[in-house]
Each structure stands twice: as structure tokens, then as C-alpha cells.
Amino acid sequence: MRKFLMSTAAIATLFAAPVPLAFADESVEVLHWWTSGGEAAALDVLKKNLEGQGVTWKDMPVAGGGGEAAMTALRARVTAGDPPTAVQALGFDITDWAKQGVVGDLGEVADKEGWDKVVPAALQNFAKYDGKWIAAPVNVHSTNWVWINKKALDAAGGKAPETWDELIVVLDKMKANGISPLGHGGQAWQDATIFDAVVLSLGTDFYKQSMIDLDPAALGGDKMVEAFDRMAKLKTYVDQDFSGRDWNLASAMVIEGKAGMQMMGDWAKGEFLKAGQKPGTDFVCIRFPGTQGAVTFNSDMFMMFKVGDDKKAAQMKMASDIEDPGFQSSFNVVKGSVPARTDVPDTAFDDCGKKGIKDLAEASTSGKLFGSMAHGYAAPAAVKNALYDVVTRNFNGELDSKAAAAALAEAIAAAKG
Amino acid sequence: MADLTTTAPRAVTNPRATLQDLLPKIVLAPSFALILIFVYGFIVFTAFLSFSGSKLLPDFSTWVGLNNYVRLFNHPNWITALKNLAIFSTLYIVVCSAIGLALAIFLDQKIRGEGVLRPIYLYPMALSFIVTGVAWKWFLDPGIGLEHVMQSWGWESFSFRWIKDGKMAIYTIVIAAVWQSSGFVMAMFLAGLRGVDNEIIKAAQIDGASTLTIYRRIIIPLMRPVFLSAFVVLAHLAIKSYDLVVAMTDGGPGTATWTPALFMQKFTFGRNEMGMGAASAIIMMMMIFAIIVPYLYSELGKKK
Amino acid sequence: MSAASQDVATRNGIFARAFIYAVLILFAVYYLLPLYVMIVNSLKPLDEIRQGNMLALPQQWTIAPWLSAWSTAQIGVQPTGLKPYFLNSVMMVVPAVAISTILGALNGYVLTKWRFKGDNIVFGMMLLACFIPFQIVLIPSARILGLTGLAGTITGLVLIHAIYGLGFTTLFFRNYYEAFPTELVRAAQIDGASFFQIFRRILLPSSGPIIVVTVIWQFTNIWNDFLFGSSFSGFNSIPITVALNNLVNSSTGVKEYNVHFAGAILAALPTLIVYIVSGRYFVRGLMAGAVKG
């Protein structure tokens, strides 16, 4: 047996050329979950930029569960007293870590480069804690998009819906045309992504009251019952095999014309582009009907941890490189999102991207830019997941609209406590 | 070889050599000490955690008494998880043992091609569920998997959509879990069967016992220690079933396939509710102990 | 010279044998199905997978997904494929399996042949250790690794895996040695053989089968572990499972299922080889035991 194991080891050694690690004086260790395909390649741009400045990038990727696995690993790292230099993180998780007193201070770079002026205030709420910059925002995803197959839309009248009623008309026509009107994957976060948009479509005030302020009256009120009614209505346009489907397979259904449209954040665009489709001619991107002018966002940030003085310079370089307009442009063109800075030129972006940049700037100035509940920017993880439970149970027919609204108020109250 | 089936007598004692007397304990001590710290010490730590208001990281500055346990048992997902664990672990342990024993007995009948079949039965245990879960998810998906294929082969009325049905989805998890582990159980039984002493069987045959009787009365009862090992292996896999559920349904449809391990992981690390996660872990440990301790007691007590 | 219970078989009728073969083959199909799904789809271009029929053979065969998974797929920011992570896993698995197996064998030997007052309680406690959910040990283990300076190292991973494997290895060896004739041990002792001499000369030579079982078990569990691997590894000690997970778990990127399946099979190759190769060993070990008897 031992001989066997040794030979296995020998074979493995033969095949596995270890990654050559050039140890420079300066290095950053980065924990993130952009581990595959385009998003990882996009991050590689940042790595190359840093290497150009003599900073080694020590990669610590942990994918899974939309960052849950990475956050698990981060707890182990922090507990062991060995936190990474920078960690990809979202929304309230950043605030939660800041409360533990383990994050660093980017003030030096932020002041010098004037981040306060170019990063939307809604993002600053998360990237700053106690008035100090602790994280460098990379991008802004907006989640209230609808992606429509152009042919299917033409067959259903050709006009993109602008109100809830128009949306229902289009969906009905698509159904009559024999396709599955709504391509959707029945995973809790996808259900909640649609729910975000549905709540927003009932008014920006209502979104703020219920999702941001977590007002019990709004959460359990009649308007919330109506929101769940709308969810139930949308459910009737989903094919019967929706449960558990990955979001990108739902995108594929729209691309192939098996489904008419998908309600998903702007990362879905990558799937369409990868399939060789062109915005405007093969697919159409619109804001969720009734939410025009408002944006629910989700922003990827790199949270910086307290590190020794020897690593501090590299950490600052990394923060500075993230906020470099050139990087913000090239990264976001690949990722499908829009830059976290509002002063980045939109020339490199396609039509949907340009619209995204414009919408973000408008929503930011008009006060209609809200954190997405489904993606951890409206409330802390416990509340977000309590909402997931109720929304997904409702969408799967376990709770009717009235019961769901009551359960939502109750679950969120319990999670807050 | 001497008779394998006699029970080993108790300690061999030799009053002459003192170091030799201590040596066995010295050998055992490091393992036991590590287990004491890394298992029992950490269980105590978790018990403390479950009475604290820990959120993101352990936090022993706020104590909430039994509050985490109260919230736990008021949480619909935990109730679902408990029900699922009961269904899942019972079916999984029974079916795996039954299939394992049956396959081992069948494979023990001088089968041609045993050398080919055995690794086929065994290999699922070698694979990580990170991706075989995806294969199962596809296979069970009515739109692209078994149902689709059967229908395209002309069996129009064929329907198999358990994974999409909240009431049935947990059974699809059983199917995949049995797939993964029953081969390993088979190997354990096969090893047991081949260790059975010739003489006893010959004697029974001379007495005119039928094949069925020999298996039922002699061979299967001799498999007792194998049953213990199989039970321990399976029960531990059942209670820890996490990867599998995440890969196949991630708790869905809705919250229909939540299990306690999933609950603990999600609450501790996803929802920043470490206190509640610890409470769920303690309940899990208590359930495990409630099942295993009496079983161990009867198994080990008998030998005395 | 065949194993004992096989003799019962010779009295089966032809129908019974046909039935037995049918059942065995049916189960072989059940066990092979997911592997078939994985292999077939790993040899298709992505477009073909998107079209549906996952049980169909590829219309257009390609090995590109395999090459990509091995050496060019994006794992984190580096497009290295799974290749570099193999060595990390091997360096972690081999010592961890060796340590836990050796300790388990010694423990099993002590617990059955050198019994002492309370030995059953010690064994019971070690056995119960098998059942601890690993999620709860994560944070305290991390603290200990941090304090001992082993955080983020392969040594730390080896230590953790060896400790949490002890319960099982002890169980396996204890049950195996339980059936081993104590008379032989006693006789050797009277002849003046020492504790370790008895273990090495008498028990170890006939421990082949249980060593194989234990090694298979430990190798598989440690090789496939994700939780410890992702939490306790550093940037230069990431094991293959974590890399595989990074390959297949893109959050908002395009999912290349064909590459995922190819990667999964590649990552599982060592465990598959251990199963197939030592499966033969297993029988040979058993036969050898029977010959001696």
C-alpha cells in the first residue's frame, strides 16, 4: 500500500508543476469568489496592474453560495489571527466586519484621490464605516433588469412593456404563442431578485419603507399582499420545471427562444453576449416595468483588513488601482456591471451598459438608488435570508399572499432580534 | 488459523513488566488527548456559544440564556429540517444496509466478472458531491433528464418529477445518497462474508440446512460487527449530509429539503447567526448521542 | 481455497443464478449512470449541452473541455486549470492518511489486546468523535492553528485531517483486531515478545485488508474534503477540491458544464485509482488471510 501511495505521489508530482511564486517585497493576499470564467479573467487585469507596480498578488479564491464559502473561510482566517489583505464582500457583511474592529483604513488614498466626490453616496454607506473608508467598490450591478428575446417580443406585439399591466399583456401573448413566457430558476435568491423588482414597482416609497426601513406595517400590510399577488401572477408564466434551475440556464432559455424574458441582474448580459447575441437586435434590455428611473443595486467591494505596516503600502496600491478609472471601465465591460465611479466615460460600453451608467447617475441624484434586498444591500444577512425563506415558500405555493405577508413581517422581526 | 469467531478474552496481564504494562496506555494517550481537546473540548465551546448572542464571530460578552433554542424551535426551517432528517436517515440507513448486504451476498456467489462489478459498485464513494450532485440534479430534472429521455423514446406518459415537488424532493436526495454509499457498505459486508469460518458452514450443510437457512441463521448473525460499522458509517454520513443537499437542491423547492447540517452551516456562516447555529449543532449532537450511546452500550457491554 | 461462504453458492439453481446476475447488472447500471452523464457531457461542446438531451452521445466529439479543465481553465485569477493543485492535495493527503492509519492501528491493538479498566469508555468516546459535525470545530480549530502558527499551512491541514480521522481508523482496526485470536498474542507474550514486537510481527502482517479499507476511507474523505481545505489553507496550499469548487462555482459567470464535468473526473482520478487498484489488493489480502488459516 505504501508503495502504491508513493507511486501516486510520484505521478502527481510529475504532472503538477507548482505555480512559480516570485516573492516580491510587497504583496497582497486576496480572498474572493470570482473564480471562474469571465469574472476571474476580469480580475486578472487588476492583478497585472499591481504586478506592474511590483506588488505580488497571492490569490485565495473560495467560490460557492454567492460568497458564503468565502465568508466561512474568512472567519477561520480572522480567528486564526491571519486575515487576508483584501476580501471581496457585499453590503451589510462589510459593516458587520467593521463592527468587529478588524478592518483597515483607506483614508489616505481615498482623500488623495477624492473618492468622496466620485462614488455615489448610496455606495459610500457601505464602503465607509464611522466616517472612514474601509472598502474599495469595484462595480455596481443593478438588479431590476428584464432581458427579452427580441423575436419573442416582436411576435407579442413588439413594444417593450412599461407598466405592470403591459407586462401582463406581453406575457399572455407570449404564452399564447406557445413559449414559456418567463425564464426563471427557482432558487431562493432568484425568487428574491424578482421580488425586489416587484416591490419596487409598487413605488419607491414602499420599497424604502418595507425593504430598507423594515417597517412592520409595510412588511405585513395590504401593499405587501399585493406584491405577493404579483409574484403569484408571475409564477403562472413560469414553466413547471423551474425549480432549482441555475440562472444561466434560464438565460439560455431566453437566448434560444424557449422562454420570452428573464428578470435578472445585469450579469445576465454576459450570457447573451457569450452566445453571440447583440443588444437591440437579438435581445432587449429594459427596466422592470414600473421601476423606470429607480435602481436597486448590488456592488462588489474589496474590504481591506488591518495588516502589518509592511503590507500597508501594497494594500493602498491595490485600493488605488481598484478605483483607477481605466480599470473600472475595462473590468465592468467584461463583467456586465457599471463602474462604481460616476466619472468613468461610457464609451467602451454597449447600449445596455450605457443605459445602466445613465440610469445609475440619474437614480443617484434623484434619490431613487436603493440597496437590493436580495443581494444584501438593504438589510443584514439574517434579515435578507429570513425574507428569502418567505419569498421562496410563497413562490413555491407553500404560503398564499396573505399568509406570506404576515410571515414576512414575523420572520423579519425575529431575525432583527 | 485459529477459530475466528470466538470472542476475544479480556486483557492479557503480565505482572512482571511494568513498562510493558504502561506502554499500551502511553501509545493510546496522544490520540485520546487530541480527541478530548478537538472533539469534546470544542463541543463544550459550542455549548457555551449556543447560550451567547454571537452573530458574526464568537462573542461571549452577551448571554441570552435559552433564547437561541427558543428561536430555533420556532423557526419553520428547523422543523422542516428535523422532519427531513428523520425521513432521510431512516431510509438511507435501511436501504443502504439492505442493498449493501444483498449485493455482497450475490457477489459472493462465485460471480463471473466480480472484479469488474466490485469497483463499479464502489467508485461513487470516491467522487466528491461538488459535481456528481450536478450530474444527479440533471438526471432527475424532468426537462432534460430521465423523464425527457423516456418520453423522447416513446414512453409519453412517463413522469418522474420528484426533485421539482416539495413533498417528494427529499426522496431524490435519498436516491443519490444511497448511490454514493451503498457500494462501500457492500464492500464491508463482502469482507465480513469472506471472513466467515468454513467449518461452521460445512457443519450446517452436513446437518442439511438450506442455503437460505444458512444465511439467515448463521452467516447474517455473524455479520453483527459489520452491521455496527455500517451503521456508524451511515449514520454519520446521514447527519452530516450537507454537500449533497447543497449540490442537488440547496434546500429547495422552497425550503422543502433543508436538513439540520444545512441549517447549521447557513445560520452560522451565511446568516451571521452563530449563536443559533451553535444551538442547532448542540441539538444535533444530542440526537446523535441519544441514538449512538445506548447502541454502543449494548454492543460493548455484551463483550464484558 | 476459496472464501468460506462462497461454498454455499454452489447449490444455487440456474434461475436463481440468472436472477442474481440480473440484479447485479441492474445495480451496475444504477451506479454507472451519473458517471456516464458526466463523461458524455464532458466530451460535448457547450452549445450541445445547452440544447438539452444530456443522455445522448455527443454529435460533435471534443476533448477541449478536458484540456481546459487540466491546464487552462480559470481558477481564481490564474488560468492554470487544476494542474497545480494536485500536488497540494497529495502533500496533504498522504501524511494525513498515514498518521491516522498508524495511530488507528495502534489504538485498535491496545483496545483489543491490552484491555484495561475503562477501555470501552475510551473506545466509545473515540467512536463518538466520528459524529461531530465539522462546521462546529471550524472556529476553535482555526484559533488553535493560529496559536500554533500552523494557519494556512499544509502541516496544519494534515494535523486537522489526522485528528478527525482518528475515530474512524480506531473503529476499523478495533473491530478487525477484535476477531483476531488473542491466544497468539498471549503466546507471543509468554515467549517474551514486547508490545511493539507483537504488533509488528503478529498483528500487522495479517492486517492487509483492514489497512486497505482504512486507507480507502481516509484517502477518500480527506481528498474530497472542502470545508477544512477552504478554511485552513493559505494561498499556496489550496487543495484540489477547493480548486474544483472554484472551477464549477462561478457566481455570476458563464457555466461551462463540460469543463466542470471533465474537471470533476480529473480531480477524482486519484481516489478512483485507489479504489480500483486497492480493490484488487483487498481481495488478495483476504485470500492470503484465508491461506494462512
Cα C124 to Cα B295, B302, C129, C166: the distances in Å are 10, 14, 9, 13
The whole-number pLDDT of residue B47 equals 95
Q: What is the mean pLDDT of residues A369-379?
A: 95
Q: Would you call A241 and B164 a contact, using CB atoms and an 8 Å cutoff?
A: yes
Q: What is the mean pLDDT of residues A357-383?
A: 94
Q: Would you call B271 and A381 a contact, using CB atoms and an 8 Å cutoff?
A: yes
ipTM rounded to 2 decimals: 0.85
Q: Would you call C245 and A62 a contact, using CB atoms and an 8 Å cutoff?
A: yes
Q: Is residue B180 part of a domain?
A: yes
The whole-number pLDDT of residue B29 equals 94
Q: Is residue A7 part of a domain?
A: no
Q: Is residue A256 part of a domain?
A: yes
Q: What is the mean pLDDT of residues A356-373?
A: 94
The rounded distance, in Å, linking the Cα atoms of B94 and B234 is 9
Q: Which three cell numbers stand for residue A42?
A: 476580469
Of A4, A46, A76, the CB nearest to C277: A4
Any idea what the Cα angle at residue B271 is, between residues B265 and B276, rounded to 5°? 70
Q: Residue A410, Cα to own-chain centre: how many angstroms? A: 26
Starting from the edge strand earliest in sequence, which strands make up the sheet with A145-149, in order? A180-182, A259-263, A145-149, A283-287
Q: Is residue B20 part of a domain?
A: no
* Range 140-199 of A in CB contact (< 8 A) with C: 141
Q: Are residues A198 and A315 in the same domain?
A: no
Q: End of a domain among A320, A338, A364?
A: A364
Q: Are residues A276 and A402 in the same domain?
A: yes
Average the pLDDT over each of A352-356, C124-128, C254-258 and give the range with the smallest value: C254-258
**What percent of chain A is predicted at pLDDT more than 70?**
93
- Measuring CA to CA, which residue among B149, B135, B166 is closest to residue A243? B166
Number of domains in chain B: 1
For the stretch A8-42, pLDDT in tens is 444 444 444 344 444 447 899 999 998 766 778 78
The whole-number pLDDT of residue A7 equals 47
Q: Is residue A316 part of a domain?
A: yes
Question: Quick check: C3 pLDDT over 60?
Answer: no
B133 — pLDDT class (breaks 50, 70, 90): confident
Cα A147 to Cα A152, A267, B122, B236, B248: the distances in Å are 11, 11, 46, 45, 27
Q: Is residue B98 part of a domain?
A: yes
Give the amino acid at B247.
A
Which residues of chain B approach chain A closer than 8 Å at the C-beta? 55-58, 71, 74-77, 137, 141-143, 161, 163-164, 166, 246, 248-256, 265-266, 269-273
C6 — pLDDT class (breaks 50, 70, 90): low
Of A65, A96, A244, the CB nearest to B272: A96
The whole-number pLDDT of residue A324 equals 95
Question: Quick check: C157 pLDDT over 90?
Answer: yes
- Measuring CA to CA, which residue among B242, C251, C81 is closest to residue A63? C251
Contacts of C164 in chain B (CB under 8 A): 38
Residues whose CB falls within 8 Å of the CB of residue A155, separated by 6 or more in sequence, listed in order? A173, A174, A177
Beta bridge mates, A263: A146
Q: Are residues A262 and A321 in the same domain?
A: no
Q: Would you give the DSSP letter of residue A288?
A: P
- Measuring CA to CA, which residue among B3, B24, B16 is closest to residue C182? B3
- Pairing mode, strands A86-90 and A26-32: parallel
Contact between residue A132 and residue A105 where contact means Cβ atoms under 8 Å apart: yes
Domain containing A130: what range? 24-141+298-364
User: Interface partners of B (3+ CB pairs, < 8 Å)?
Assistant: A, C
Q: What is the mean pLDDT of chain A?
A: 90
Q: Are residues A238 and A333 in the same domain?
A: no
Cα C207 to Cα A167, A240, C71, C180, C201: the distances in Å are 71, 55, 40, 10, 11
- Measuring CA to CA, which residue among A331, A370, A35 is closest to residue A201? A370
Question: Quick check: B104 pLDDT over 80?
Answer: yes
Q: Are residues A333 and A266 in the same domain?
A: no
Q: Are residues A289 and A402 in the same domain?
A: yes
Q: Would you call A267 and C236 a contact, using CB atoms and an 8 Å cutoff?
A: no
Quote the minimal CA–CA distance from B151 to chain C in Å: 11
The whole-number pLDDT of residue B96 equals 95
The rounded distance, in Å, linking the Cα atoms of A242 and A233 is 15
Domain containing B202: what range? 76-302
Number of domains in chain A: 2
Q: Is residue B284 part of a domain?
A: yes
Contact between residue A252 and residue A180 where contact means Cβ atoms under 8 Å apart: no
Q: Is residue B235 part of a domain?
A: yes
Q: Is residue A37 part of a domain?
A: yes
The rounded distance, in Å, linking the Cα atoms of B69 and C35 is 42
Question: Quick check: B90 pLDDT over 90?
Answer: yes
For the stretch B245-290, pLDDT in tens is 988 888 889 899 999 999 999 999 889 999 999 999 999 989 888 8
Q: Are residues A218 and A353 in the same domain?
A: no
The interaxial angle of helices B114-122 and B169-194, nearest 10 deg, is: 140
A21 three-class SS: coil
Q: Would you call A186 and B266 a contact, using CB atoms and an 8 Å cutoff?
A: no
Quote the minimal CA–CA distance from A8 to chain C in Å: 7
Domains in chain C, CATH or no CATH each: 6-62 (no CATH), 83-292 (1.10.3720.10)
Q: Are residues A77 and A112 in the same domain?
A: yes
Q: Are residues A228 and A124 in the same domain?
A: no
B58 three-class SS: coil
Contacts of C80 in chain A (CB under 8 A): 19
Q: What is the mean pLDDT of residues A235-252?
A: 90
Q: What is the mean pLDDT of chain C?
A: 85
**Domain CATH for B148:** 1.10.3720.10
Contact between residue A354 and residue A346 where contact means Cβ atoms under 8 Å apart: yes
Residues whose CB falls within 8 Å of the CB of residue C185, separated by 6 or more in sequence, listed in order? B12, C113, C198, C202, C203
| ω into B253 cis (within 30 of 0) | yes
Helix/strand/coil (H/E/C) assignment for every residue in chain C: CCCCCHHHHCCCCHHHHHHHHHHHHHHHHHHHHHHHHHHHHHCCCHHHHHCCCCCCCCCCCCCHHHHHHHHHCCECCECCCCHHHHHHHHHHHHHHHHHHHHHHHHHHHHHHHCCCCCHHHHHHHHHHHHHCCHHHHHHHHHHHHHHCCCCECHHHHHHHHHHHHHHHHHHHHHHHHHCCCHHHHHHHHHCCCCHHHHHHHHHHHHCHHHHHHHHHHHHHHHHHCCHHHHHHECCCCCCHHHHHHHHHCCCCCCCCHHHHHHHHHHHHHHHHHHHHHHHHHHHHHHHHHHHHC
The rounded distance, in Å, linking the Cα atoms of A412 and A390 is 10
Contact between residue C98 and residue C149 where contact means Cβ atoms under 8 Å apart: no
Q: Which of C254, C260, C266, C281 to mutate to test the interface with A (most CBs of A within 10 A)?
A: C254
Q: Which three cell numbers stand for residue A202?
A: 409598487
The whole-number pLDDT of residue A226 equals 97
For the stretch C119-130, pLDDT in tens is 888 998 998 888
C14 — pLDDT class (breaks 50, 70, 90): confident
Contacts of A415 in chain B (CB under 8 A): 271
Beta bridge mates, A262: A147
**What percent of chain A is predicted at pLDDT more than 90?**
78
DSSP H or E stretch at residue A145: strand A145-149
Q: Is residue B134 part of a domain?
A: yes
B17 — pLDDT class (breaks 50, 70, 90): low
Q: Would you call A63 and C86 a contact, using CB atoms and an 8 Å cutoff?
A: no
Question: Quick check: B6 pLDDT over 60?
Answer: no
Q: Is residue A195 part of a domain?
A: yes
Q: Is residue B253 part of a domain?
A: yes
Q: What is the mean pLDDT of residues B134-141?
A: 84
Q: Is residue B59 part of a domain?
A: no
Of A243, A382, A385, the CB nearest to B164: A243
Give the amino acid at A86.
A
Give the amino acid at A257.
G
The rounded distance, in Å, linking the Cα atoms of B91 and B104 is 19
**φ, ψ for residue B109, nearest 5 deg:** -95, 45
Q: Is residue A377 part of a domain?
A: yes
Alpha helices by DSSP H, A119-240: 121-127, 150-155, 164-176, 188-201, 204-207, 216-220, 222-235
The rounded distance, in Å, linking the Cα atoms of B261 and B258 is 8
DSSP H or E stretch at residue A89: strand A86-90
Q: What is the mean pLDDT of chain B?
A: 85
B156 three-class SS: coil
Q: Are residues A253 and A238 in the same domain?
A: yes
**Domain CATH for A258:** 3.40.190.10
The whole-number pLDDT of residue C281 equals 65
Q: Which three cell numbers stand for residue A16?
A: 503538477
Q: Are residues A263 and A410 in the same domain?
A: yes
The whole-number pLDDT of residue C8 equals 52
- Measuring CA to CA, which residue among A77, B300, A221, B186 is closest to residue C27? B186
Alpha helices by DSSP H, chain B: 18-35, 42-50, 67-73, 76-107, 114-122, 129-140, 146-152, 169-194, 198-206, 211-213, 220-222, 224-239, 243-248, 260-265, 274-302
Exposure string (b/e) for A328-363, b if CB count within 10 Å is 16 or more? bbbbbbbbbbbbbbbebebeebbebbebbbebbbeb
Q: Would you call C235 and A60 a contact, using CB atoms and an 8 Å cutoff?
A: yes
Q: Are residues A291 and A302 in the same domain?
A: no
- Measuring CA to CA, which residue among B39, B77, B8 is closest to residue B271? B77
Cα A345 to Cα A122, A338, C180: the distances in Å are 20, 11, 78
The rounded distance, in Å, linking the Cα atoms of A207 and A291 is 11
C287 — pLDDT class (breaks 50, 70, 90): very low
The rounded distance, in Å, linking the Cα atoms of A223 and A229 is 10
Give the amino acid at A141.
H
Question: Quick check: C288 pLDDT over 70?
Answer: no
Q: Is residue A110 part of a domain?
A: yes
B128 three-class SS: coil
